[in-house]
């Protein structure tokens, strides 16, 4: 299995080399040269597997340059910190089932991919005899998941940008309380999109990227996308009967389009998915795109601070991988679309709008703060379950697309403890924290603050990068 760029300017590379690159040299994103496929017989054979075993099978289709025994060792290590079930499914009513993705060390779905990424990046670096300086941006959960997966690793340093005042107190504590020498938390005076733009500027400077050994762990990283594919297969296998070919639908709270893109990959691989339902918050650029065909990101000033902060994103990094498939893998049309985005502030695929649903099965909807509060309250009253605000966005939008006879699975994105203020507002409950989490919240925090300034960031990395 080899990987190419969505913009056509990268020679095919194997999995391990690709995941160390981050952005391709031409500014595009890595995609499989040919998408692997899975048939019904294989799916049935996978039913009896544990989660690490299933991860080995699915990831083995993508990471063909890694010996199977090495891959099995890494998946076992990646999911060792999780409870035995790893990804439990639980019904909250007759229509909706939650897919529990927040059982990992940072209580968010990002752990599902990031724990594997920590294993495979270290493996690739040891094989190559090199080091990597991770440069990333987070709106909340990616940063903590990455730092907890990569802390203390000898060959890796992490430079994580986050928007000042835009994350919950719990999210800040998970990141900023870490005192490992290889972790650098950089608080930028701006919004998430400003942080993401800084990352792209430095990653797009190939000389600087090579000199500083820069890589990425945000949702553009191939290891994260492929590792997330696994739980779509896992959930389908547990939501369907043996020997059946039942279609299911998934609803995915989405800001950067990485989580739902993994579901899109699973559908392309042959998993019987009827609908992929994208749930947006008030920063609903993606909802507007999938409803109208016009993609028009908003400025930093127009990007709202909401009670589902991990989705406070205007410019979705992973949308390019979907566009690549939409245009029939024609890299020149991808480049043209992004030129329109730079020149006009938008690109237009209204001519392809019908294909979004008919061919790709993607639909969408928006949830607001009032919707989140009402949904959290309704779920609590009906089932006793407390869900976080992002999952509430998913539940609200999922109800709009429930179809008779088609199981609707909603991806749970985080534990409610990460967003205690919103839970208190919705249902008046004060969430309890175990002693280790309370200690984390009370611990000193260590950050470096800077302006939205590319030159200041370059200087900081040059002074602190691994060589």
Active site residues: 110
Report the alpha-carbon distance of residue 189 to residue 340 in Å, rounded: 28
Residue 39 neighbours by CB under 8 Å, 6+ apart:
270
Nearest to 413 by CA among 309, 282, 286: 309
Nearest to 13 by CA among 36, 34, 30, 29: 30
Strand, coil or helix: 446: coil
End-to-end alpha carbon distance in the chain: 30
Residue 151 contacts residue 230 (beta carbons within 8 Å): no
Which residue intervals of 129-242 are DSSP H helices? 141-150, 169-176, 192-204, 206-211, 222-239
Residue 123 contacts residue 74 (beta carbons within 8 Å): yes
Strand, coil or helix: 8: coil
Report the alpha-carbon distance of residue 463 to residue 450 in Å, rounded: 15
In this structure, the strands spanning 3-5 and 183-188 are unpaired
Report the alpha-carbon distance of residue 281 to residue 260 in Å, rounded: 15
Q: How far is CA 412 from the centre of its chain?
A: 12
Q: Tell me how long the chain is.
A: 467
Radius of gyration of the chain (CA): 21
Cα dihedral 398, 400, 296, 330 sign: positive
The 10 Å CB-count burial string (b at 16+, else e) for 13-30 is bebbebbbbbbbebbbbb
Token readout for 105 is: 């060390």
């Amino acid at each position: 299995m080899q990987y190419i760029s969505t913009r056509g300017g990268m020679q095919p590379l194997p999995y391990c080399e690709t995941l160390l690159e981050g952005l391709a040299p031409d500014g595009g994103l890595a995609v499989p040269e040919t998408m692997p496929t899975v048939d019904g017989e294989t799916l049935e054979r996978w039913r009896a597997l544990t989660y690490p075993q299933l991860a080995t099978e699915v990831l083995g289709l993508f990471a063909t340059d890694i010996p199977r025994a090495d891959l099995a060792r890494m998946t076992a290590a990646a999911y060792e910190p999780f409870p035995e079930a790893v990804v439990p499914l639980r019904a909250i009513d007759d229509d909706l089932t939650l897919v529990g993705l927040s059982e990992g060390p940072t209580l968010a779905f990002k752990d599902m991919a990031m724990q594997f990424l920590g294993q495979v990046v270290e493996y690739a670096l040891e094989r190559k005899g090199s080091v990597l300086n991770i440069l990333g941006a987070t709106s909340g959960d990616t940063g903590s998941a990455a730092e907890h997966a990569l802390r203390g690793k000898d060959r890796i340093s992490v430079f994580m940008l986050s928007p000042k005042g835009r994350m919950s107190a719990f999210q800040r504590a998970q990141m900023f309380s870490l005192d490992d020498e290889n972790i650098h938390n950089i608080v930028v005076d701006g919004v998430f999109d400003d942080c993401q733009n800084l990352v792209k500027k430095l990653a797009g400077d190939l000389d600087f990227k090579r000199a500083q050994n820069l890589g990425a762990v945000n949702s553009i990283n191939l290891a994260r996308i492929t590792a997330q594919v696994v739980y779509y297969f896992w959930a389908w296998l547990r939501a369907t009967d043996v020997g059946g070919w039942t279609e299911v639908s998934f609803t995915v709270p989405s800001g950067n389009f990485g989580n739902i893109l993994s579901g899109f990959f699973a559908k392309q691989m042959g998993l019987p998915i009827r609908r992929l339902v994208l749930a947006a918050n008030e920063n609903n650029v993606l909802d507007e795109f999938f409803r109208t065909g016009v993609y028009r990101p908003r400025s930093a000033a127009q990007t709202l601070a909401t009670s589902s902060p991990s989705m406070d994103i205007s410019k979705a990094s992973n949308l390019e991988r979907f566009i690549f498939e939409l245009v029939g893998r024609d890299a020149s049309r991808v480049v043209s679309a992004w030129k329109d985005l730079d020149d006009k502030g938008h690109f237009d695929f209204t001519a392809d709008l019908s294909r979004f649903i008919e061919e790709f099965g993607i639909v969408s909807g928006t949830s607001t703060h009032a919707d989140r509060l009402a949904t959290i309250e309704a779920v609590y009253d009906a089932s006793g379950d407390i869900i976080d605000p992002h999952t509430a966005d998913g539940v609200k939008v999922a109800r709009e697309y429930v179809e008779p006879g088609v199981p609707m699975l909603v991806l749970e994105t985080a534990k409610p403890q990460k967003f205690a203020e919103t839970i208190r507002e919705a249902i008046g409950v004060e969430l309890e924290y175990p002693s280790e989490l309370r200690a984390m919240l009370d611990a000193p925090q260590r950050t470096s603050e800077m302006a939205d300034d590319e030159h200041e960031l370059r200087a900081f990395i040059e002074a602190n990068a691994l060589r």
